[in-house]
Structure 1
């Protein structure tokens, strides 16, 4: 009986590993060992290690706190239904139900998908005081939060498209 349980557990791990590899390949993250849309364990990865697996543009925004130009990101005016993930680590960040049309030029959401999806820190750069939004799993820079969003939160999570991956909802037959 114990051998059967161990064998079943091994098969399950192999299947899950195959799923993770397919998920990474589909999103172009096959060289990123930390990318997972199911793992929520906080990561502590050096910027040197991130630089080896991220594109130069994503690294500049996510790790060096750069900002993509407004009205240029692939998600700023998207109305597709689905889920947004951290492009660096795969952490689930936002649902499209919380996305709203904003004239700021970046994708905007009024709340994260779960409380631990993001974290916040003070940002006094660019000669102003803002609140930076970071991935709750890998600490990558996502954007900033402002108090001019719609109800029910009146918040606007102004995110960089390059910091996001998107998975559309499954179509119903």
Structure 2
């Protein structure tokens, strides 16, 4: 009888302990589910915030694109071909194109722009340059002169959407050595 009582007690204890473990597992699973629910909610909130930020960034980019202006610069590449490059910039002023022509090697650091007058109604541009520009042009052969003039004229006409450009040297007609440029030039 004592043996039977011991066996029943041991069996009961085993069943109770197994039953308790099952409840612990269920509780852990329920806790996990609840935690997942909290993660989903916080992920949803984070996702909504990210979507709002992305929409704001797209809106800002759209505004920036509207404010950005296109600058088109002509230059001579390593194959001695005249090519153009378009750049986006927030502001285009009198010296923006000029500085890019210097950067691309068409003009030198000593080449200065005295004035730039743009007539949007007549679609003309009057550029007055210093003597250094005239000397650079005159020092070139025929091909070099043509390349420099083409790059200056086309860069300004395309950037400012004009039809004719007049080049002067210190207020006087530009003398290239071959010819005197006393009128307006069209796109090359």
Superposed pair shares fold, TM > 0.5: no
Q: Higher Cα Rg: structure 1 or 2?
A: 2
Higher helix share goes to which structure? 2
**TM-score, normalised via structure 1 length:** 0.29
**TM-score, normalised via structure 2 length:** 0.27
Q: Which has the higher contact order (CA 8 A, sep 6+)?
A: 1
